[in-house]
Amino acid sequence: MGIRVLLVDDQTLVRAGFRALLGSEPGIEVVGEAVDGAEAVTLAASLVPDVVLMDIRMPRVDGLAATSRITRDPRLASTKVVVLTTFELDEYVFGALRAGASGFLLKDIEPQALIEAVRLVHDGQALLAPQVTRRLIEAFVASGADEPAEPATGPDSRLEGLTPREREILALVGRGMSNHEIAAHLVLSPLTAKTHVSRLFLKLGVRDRAQLVVAAYETGLVGAG
């Protein structure tokens, strides 16, 4: 069974381009198109796609609000959202991940890279290029004053149930490392690294790797510099 994709963008030509690209790829099926966030939420609930490619700036309901509604719907627990935008602004990167997105991509991405991104996020990977991760760290730390509940450098109750090793691994995930990179860095087997990451999913109650990245920033395990 192929990867079922829902396209969300208010520009007809953009949707047509994505449909032509993805629809011709073996193992990927475009099952629907939405012109705004409101329609995206409705179609996601009825179609239950594997991956949603979500624009940010749209009328009525924007992409961040729609992403949040989709990822919070228990019926769509297996649906992954990838946010696509022409605006390389830090607030959108962090906003997309806070809303539950599994990745963030710019619309000028190469065609083959977009196809690979759909496959990767479907397999549970976080779509965060190293340069985006660094910008996200800097943006989050710089906006710490805007997070009144818990400063980025303060203690966080979510860390209390983690072992020192799990905290270390969470920090490395936050810096954009894959399981294999973590294993090499800590001199562990890839399977051991994967097991630690899976336990972090359960302990922190997150749905995918991208949300672990957010948790690493929010708890202060990852900082600028």
Query: Bridge-partner residues for 44, per DSSP?
Result: none
Q: Is the pLDDT of residue 58 over 90?
A: no
pLDDT tens by residue, 103-115: 888 888 888 888 9
The CA-based angle 43-49-52, given to 5 degrees, is 80
* pLDDT band per the 50, 70, 90 thresholds, residue 166: very high
- pTM (predicted TM-score): 0.72
Residue 113 · residue 92 · CB < 8 Å: no
Question: What are the respective helix, strand and coil percentages of the chain, to the nearest 5?
Answer: 55, 15, 35
Q: What is the pLDDT of residue 145?
A: 37
Give the containing element (helix H, strand E) for 74: none
Percent of the chain whose pLDDT exceeds 70: 83
pLDDT tens by residue, 130-145: 556 556 656 655 655 3
HSE-CB for 195 with a 13 A CA cutoff: 6
Q: What is the pLDDT of residue 152?
A: 44
The mean per-residue pLDDT over the stretch 12-19 comes to 93
Distances (CA, A) of 134 to 142, 150, 166, 213: 12, 21, 21, 11
